[in-house]
Structure 1
C-alpha cells in the first residue's frame, strides 16, 4: 500500500456526511470520482492519506456512516478492499 486510501459509498448523502465529519476532524481529504473498478452506488468517493486510516475508521464507526468499503491504492494504481 503506497498510495492513498479511498472510501466508497452507496449514497451521495452518506458521502457528503462523511466529508463534513472528516473535515471537522481536520483530516486531509479530497472528494474524488469513484474508480470504475470499485462497484458502488455513488459516483463520489473520499480519498485520504494512509496515516489517517485509524482515525477515519473510528469516525465512520462512531458516527454510523454507511459506506461500501475502504480501499487501498496499490503500486499499480488499482484498489484493494481492506
Structure 2
C-alpha cells in the first residue's frame, strides 16, 4: 500500500526509544521487520501511515532519535528514502 512509511534504525535502542515516543504522541505505528533492501544495523523498523509523516519527523528531530532514514513504500513493495 502506497500510504505506508517506514523508519529504519541502526540500533535496537533507538528503535525502542522511537516506539515509546511515537506511542506517547498517539501516532499509530506497527513494529515491522526491516526489509532486506534497506541496509540498517537493526532488524526492527517502525511502520506508520503517511498522514503522520510531519509529526514523526518533528518527534525524531526534536528528540534527536538516531535513524537510518524514513522510507516510503512504493506500489511494487519497493522502498524509497524520503528523509534522513
- TM-score, L = length of structure 1: 0.98
The secondary structure found in structure 1 opposite 2:46 is strand
What are the within-5 Å matches in structure 2 for residues 30-45 of structure 1? 30-45=30-45
1:11 corresponding residue in structure 2: 11
Whole-angstrom CA distance in 2 between matches of 1:17 and 1:67: 11
In structure 2, how many angstroms separate the alpha carbons of the residues matched to 1:37 and 1:77?
A: 10
TM-score normalized by the length of structure 2: 0.95
1:28 maps onto 2:57 in alignment: no
Query: SS of the residue aligned with 1:10?
Result: coil
Gaps of 5+ in 1: none
Give the unaligned 5+ runs of structure 2. none
Partners in 2 of 1:77 and 1:44 — Cα distance? 17
Answer 1 or 2: which has greater strand percent. 2
Report the 3-state secondary structure (helix = DSSP H, G, I; strand = E; otherwise coil) of the residue aligned with 2:19.
Answer: helix
CA-CA distance at 1:79 after TM superposition: 0.2
